[in-house]
Amino acid sequence: MDLHFTSARASEEERAAIEAAAAQDAVTRRSLVLPVLRAVQQRFGTISPGALNYTAAALGVAPADVYGVATFYKLLRVEPSGRRVVHVCDDIACLGSRVEALIARLESENVAVERSPCLGLCDRPPGALVEATDDSDASAVASATPELQPGLATPTHIGATQVRLLRRIGRVDPESLDAYRADGGYEALRKAFELGPQKVAQEVVASNLLGRGGAAFPAGRKMQAVAAAAARPHYLICNADESEPGTFKDRVLMEADPFAIVEAMTIAAYAGGCERAYIYIRGEYPLAARRIAGAVAQARVAGLLGNDVMGRGIRLDIEIRRGAGAYICGEETALFNSLEGKRGEPRSKPPFPVEAGLFGKPTLINNVETLANLPDIVLGGGAAYAGIGTPASTGTRLFCLSGAIERPGLYEVAHGTTLGALIELAGGVRDGGRLQAILLGGAAGGFVGPDALEMRLTFEDARAAGATLGSGVVMLFDETAEMMPVLRRIARFFRDESCGQCVPCRVGTVRQEEALERGDFALLGEIGQVMRDASICGLGQTAANAIASATTNLKLWQS
Amino acid sequence: MAELTIDGAAVSVADGATILDACTASGVQTPTLCYLESLTPVNACRVCVVELEGSRALVPACARRAENGMKVATDSPRVRHSRKMVLEFLASSVDLSTAPEALRYCERYGARPERYAAGATVSQPVKIDNALYVRDYAKCILCYKCVEACGTDAQNTFAIAAAGRGFDARISTEFDVPLPDSACVYCGNCIGVCPTGALMFSSEFELRRRGVWNEDQQTETDTICSYCGVGCTLTLHVQENEIVKVTSPVENGVTRGHLCVKGRFGYQYVQNRPLEDP
């Protein structure tokens, strides 16, 4: 391709950083656009016109296209900026006076602050993420502001009635493969190799495992469809772009039990006949990315990844890719485009990922929690797994409890447990307060009132109640909470996170926020209908759900 | 061959045809804005959505392949509502004054953009940075047609792309540099496909600015470009004996509506007239 460039030139340091990031094997050169831009952003705090030109030249992509990608992601900047930025979450779990006071104080200390959507730290609000061009800057800010201690300084509450997915959390060293193996790690992969790929997929079908990312698609059927697809190669993707407001389950799994995710991905790739695997980790999750990278590196050294996995002649490696601030990239087809070095705009379905996904090839894509169930299914058998929970909602489920709850944290219960029992497990409403509302399933989910405490937590009960378990968000609001600011924050979230591709979502999310602001509730219903009916993807189709549920379930206004 | 029904009427179309093709075959007029037969469908505007039995959401007629047994409704309350709302969203946020087709659809579906009177718009100053084009992104509905024409669907120049995100998404060169600094080769194919007049030839823009642009008085004459051996069909739009714009028919097998800078803009020699004696 004959590319044209402006006269802007990259500095020597920029050229070196770009060349280093671009020097890796990839399916297409273009698929390195995001890793290279991230490297430039991280090193220089901005992407200069010269660096953008050099990136475009190095990867053979037009500069206008690279600019389109760079301006799509909120953690990439094309304007000059300071070398240190603190992203402070002012999303629904953190919303309120404490976060405003924190922002005011940081600004008075001349720290560059950016308001952020949910950072997945809802169990210890207010959440913050320090972005700095080198580590010394990061620690300087962190020590000046104790709230900004990164990582697991204050571990989340962990609770369970059935401990399966959380059994190693806080107990087994997440940085040691030996510790993982001593705790039964990699027995499932060994068993999977004994069973063979078809039998593994059959067990997953028998388990009736449904996807935990929000769409609840049968995981076994997806696995079989990819395995049976004629086109080659097949890809496996672990969707770790957890960004649904109120959700932090995948972060905790990756931070505290990373080898389990790596082993689960290896099993899934084996069953789906996938030659290449990616894990796409949210840009705002630095510790999760470090832990997964450590686990992958140790697994390679131990021959559990690479050219001859466990001496079985199976070839598989896992590539770690990072997001850069875009909720939409958790949508599977947007994630494919992001991995391919394009803007994270969703694609039209059909074709579905099992036929034509990443690079147009059959792709098995699952959420972190979904994959985390595979080792148990392989070891104990699909039938045993299906015995947990209810017939239509098998297994256990992770719930992220936040808001006005006594012990915010991550909880695991068998499907079928009631919402009330789950809340009791976490100590009930904070300070013995009275419950006003619960947000179930995140911003794309909906509100229920105290009358829903008897509801069993299953896919079918939630559906019957007009709610969704979504990504496992259970966010409580007590009687003192003002709900309109919460609704306005949700409306702002969708306006900010719409990719802008289709009209119903691009303009609809703006019109929804405006109508909510001026209290035009009749119009809200009309706007919600077109977003649900005519948007390309799940973001637009669910962007009106929570606001609609505020009238149907909370009776905040007459519809 | 796929056999399906459109609003209850059976229709059969060739393999690979879309629901839009099937609608056209059964005489149903479907509004489209981001669709053009010479470009890859992006199905972004959603004004062509139809109700497909068994599908939870509506589907875009322009991109969805017709399949055996499909039952399609093109005028159901849900379809009418979505089309009306999409048009209201566009008409309330974008200047559609030079988009007659979109305005006709607004009338057909009873769109009432005035309901969003104080709402956000994409209003912004016109970009005039070269002698041949004017870019008025206050009129842009983000149909991506210009990006496709500039890219692999026609010109392979890649001077422009979608940038930004959400309501802030826009068509842009890298760092919004002026066209003369960009990769633009002035083929004008972006203007040829623009459905709203956001991209306009300077000649047309200037006549409109002076209030003398008058399509009723214009004649259109087809000829063959004289510059090279390809043989592109040119349509000369002439007003008061002056060429005011050059296009090519989208159904033309040679050009598919696309031209190069010479055919599009190199017409001055046709109307060189001797200077009158002062």
Q: How confident is the model at residue A138 (pLDDT cuts 50, 70, 90)?
A: low
If DSSP codes are grouped into helix, strand and coil, which group holds residue B127?
strand
Cβ distance A504 to B82 less than 8 Å, yes or no, reads yes
Q: What's the gap in Å between the CA of A257 and the closest CA on chain B?
A: 34
CB proximity under 8 Å: B 144-183 to A: 156-169, 172-175, 177, 181-183
CATH class of the region A396-552: alpha beta
Cβ-nearest to B169 among A74, A500, A527 = A500
* Spatial contact of A411 and A396, defined as CB atoms under 8 Å apart: no
φ and ψ of A237, to 5 deg: -130, 130
Cβ-nearest to B46 among A74, A499, A502 = A502
What chain B residue is nearest to A61 in terms of C-alpha separation? B158
B189-195: average pLDDT: 97
pLDDT tens digits for range A39-89: 999 999 999 999 999 999 999 999 999 999 999 999 999 998 777 789 999
Same domain, B138 and B243: yes
Q: Angle at CA A195, nearest 5°, toward A190 and A197? A: 100
What chain B residue is nearest to A53 in terms of C-alpha separation? B174
Whether B277 is in a domain gets the answer no
pLDDT score recorded for residue A555 = 86
pLDDT score recorded for residue A153 = 43
Same domain, B27 and B107: yes
B86-98: average pLDDT: 98
CB proximity under 8 Å: B 120-149 to A: 120, 141-142
The superfamily in CATH containing domain A84-148 is Glutaredoxin (3.40.30.10)
If one compares A531 and B273, the residue with the highest pLDDT of the two is A531
* Spatial contact of A352 and A336, defined as CB atoms under 8 Å apart: no
Residue B45: list chain A partners with CB under 8 A.
Answer: 502-503
Residue A143, by phi and psi: left (phi above 0), alpha (psi -120 to 50) or beta? Answer: alpha
| Whole-number Å distance between alpha carbons of A336 and A330 | 10
Residue A536: list chain B partners with CB under 8 A.
Answer: 43-44, 46
Same domain, B49 and B111: yes
Residue A134 has pLDDT above 70, yes or no: no
pLDDT score recorded for residue B272 = 80
φ and ψ of A480, to 5 deg: -80, -10
Average pLDDT, chain A: 94
pTM of the model: 0.96
DSSP single-letter state for residue A347: P
If DSSP codes are grouped into helix, strand and coil, which group holds residue A308?
strand
pLDDT score recorded for residue B27 = 97
The full set of domain ranges for chain A reads 12-70, 84-148, 160-386, 396-552
Whether B127 is in a domain gets the answer no
Burial code (b: 16+ CB inside 10 Å, e: under 16) for A318-328 equals bbbbbbbbbbb
| Whole-number Å distance between alpha carbons of A340 and B162 | 16
Residue A523: list chain B partners with CB under 8 A.
Answer: 115
For residue A112, give the amino acid letter: A
If DSSP codes are grouped into helix, strand and coil, which group holds residue A496?
helix
Minimum mean pLDDT range among A105-114, A242-251, A260-269, B259-268: A105-114
Same domain, B8 and B74: yes
| Whole-number Å distance between alpha carbons of B255 and B231 | 9
Residue A501: list chain B partners with CB under 8 A.
Answer: 42, 44, 169
A293-309: average pLDDT: 97
Cβ distance A502 to B162 less than 8 Å, yes or no, reads no
Cβ distance B159 to A64 less than 8 Å, yes or no, reads yes
pLDDT score recorded for residue A558 = 73
Cβ-nearest to B174 among A67, A501, A534 = A67
Q: Could you tell me the residue range of the domain that residue B165 belongs to?
A: 133-271
Chain B interface mutation, best of A9, A331, A529, A533, highest count of B Cβ atoms under 10 Å: A533
Rg (CA), chain A: 23
Q: What's the gap in Å between the CA of A336 and the closest CA on chain B?
A: 16
Residue A473 has which token pair?
A: 């968000």
B152-165: average pLDDT: 97
* Spatial contact of A445 and A545, defined as CB atoms under 8 Å apart: yes
Same domain, B154 and B114: no
Residue A372 has which token pair?
A: 């985390």
Residue B190, by phi and psi: left (phi above 0), alpha (psi -120 to 50) or beta? Answer: alpha
Whether B276 is in a domain gets the answer no
Same domain, B50 and B141: no
Cβ distance A4 to B159 less than 8 Å, yes or no, reads yes
Residue A149 has pLDDT above 80, yes or no: no
For residue B11, give the amino acid letter: V
Cβ-nearest to A499 among B161, B165, B177 = B165
| Whole-number Å distance between alpha carbons of A417 and A424 | 11
Same domain, B137 and B267: yes
Residue A37 has which token pair?
A: 């831009």
Cβ distance B164 to A508 less than 8 Å, yes or no, reads no
Cβ distance A534 to B57 less than 8 Å, yes or no, reads yes
Same domain, B141 and B196: yes
Residue A301 has which token pair?
A: 């050294």
Residue A152 has pLDDT above 80, yes or no: no
A453: Cβ–Cβ under 8 A, 6 or more apart, which residues? A418, A419, A420, A423, A435
Place of tokens 């509302």: A437
| B269 in contact with chain A, both atoms CB, cutoff 8 A | no
Same domain, B139 and B59: no
Residue A62: list chain B partners with CB under 8 A.
Answer: 158-159, 161, 183
Burial of B203 (0-12, 13-18, 19+ CB in 10 A): buried
Please report the beta strands in A353-445, taking only residues with DSSP state E, as ranges in sequence order: 363-367, 396-403, 409-414, 435-440
Q: Answer yes or no: CATH 3.10.100.10 is held by domain A160-386.
A: no
Place of tokens 């030249």: A57
Alpha helix ranges (H) inside chain B: 19-25, 77-93, 100-108, 145-150, 189-193, 202-209, 261-265
pLDDT tens digits for range B265-274: 999 998 887 7
Domain with B89 in it: what CATH number?
3.10.20.740
The percentage of residues in chain B with a pLDDT greater than 90, rounded to a whole number, is: 96
Residue A66: list chain B partners with CB under 8 A.
Answer: 174
Cβ distance B163 to A499 less than 8 Å, yes or no, reads no
Among B120, B150, B177, where does a domain finish? B120
Order of all β-strands in the sheet with B59-60:
B9-13, B2-6, B71-73, B49-52, B59-60
The closest of A360, A342, A359, A320 to A34, measured between CA atoms, is A342
Task: Report how many Cβ contacts below 8 Å link chain A to chain B.
Answer: 162
Structural domains of chain B, count: 2
* Spatial contact of A287 and A129, defined as CB atoms under 8 Å apart: no
Whether B23 is in a domain gets the answer yes
Long-range contacts of B124-129 (CB under 8 A, 24+ apart): B127/B178, B128/B202, B129/B178, B129/B179, B129/B180
Order of all β-strands in the sheet with A409-414:
A157-160, A409-414, A396-403, A473-478, A435-440, A446-448
The percentage of residues in chain A with a pLDDT greater than 70, rounded to a whole number, is: 96
pLDDT score recorded for residue A141 = 57
Chain A interface mutation, best of B170, B171, B174, B177, highest count of A Cβ atoms under 10 Å: B174
Q: What's the gap in Å between the CA of A80 and the closest CA on chain B?
A: 12
Same domain, B146 and B96: no
Residue B219 has which token pair?
A: 């004649």
What chain B residue is nearest to A529 in terms of C-alpha separation? B82
Among B120, B155, B182, where does a domain finish? B120
Same domain, B178 and B100: no
Cβ-nearest to B166 among A67, A348, A495 = A495
Q: What value of ipTM does the predicted structure carry?
A: 0.96
| Whole-number Å distance between alpha carbons of A49 and A71 | 13
Architecture of domain A12-70: Orthogonal Bundle (1.10)
| Whole-number Å distance between alpha carbons of B211 and B207 | 6
Cβ distance B78 to A533 less than 8 Å, yes or no, reads yes
Burial of A453 (0-12, 13-18, 19+ CB in 10 A): middle
Cβ-nearest to A534 among B58, B161, B163 = B58
The closest of A268, A317, A245 to A92, measured between CA atoms, is A245
Same domain, B205 and B258: yes
If one compares A81 and A525, the residue with the highest pLDDT of the two is A525
| Whole-number Å distance between alpha carbons of A496 and A509 | 9
Alpha helix ranges (H) inside A455-544: 459-464, 483-497, 503-506, 508-518, 521-534, 538-542
A278: Cβ–Cβ under 8 A, 6 or more apart, which residues? A235, A236, A237, A238, A318, A319, A320, A321, A339, A358
pLDDT score recorded for residue B126 = 98
Cβ-nearest to B158 among A65, A501, A526 = A65
Could you tell me the CA-to-CA distances from A122 to A408, A445, A448, A474, A475 in Å, in that order? 8, 16, 19, 11, 9
Q: What's the gap in Å between the CA of A437 and the closest CA on chain B?
A: 28
Could you tell me the CA-to-CA distances from A400 to A249, A413, A441 in Å, in that order? 6, 11, 9
Chain B interface mutation, best of A217, A506, A531, highest count of B Cβ atoms under 10 Å: A506
φ and ψ of B144, to 5 deg: 70, 0
| Whole-number Å distance between alpha carbons of B45 and B42 | 8
Residue B179 has which token pair?
A: 């066209």
* Spatial contact of B200 and B133, defined as CB atoms under 8 Å apart: yes
φ and ψ of A367, to 5 deg: -70, 160
Q: What's the gap in Å between the CA of B9 and the closest CA on chain A?
A: 24
Question: From the CB of residue A541, how many other CB atoms can be counted at a distance below 10 Å?
Answer: 19
Chain A interface mutation, best of B156, B170, B175, B196, highest count of A Cβ atoms under 10 Å: B175
pLDDT score recorded for residue A519 = 93
| Whole-number Å distance between alpha carbons of B200 and A294 | 55
pLDDT tens digits for range A341-357: 999 999 999 999 999 99
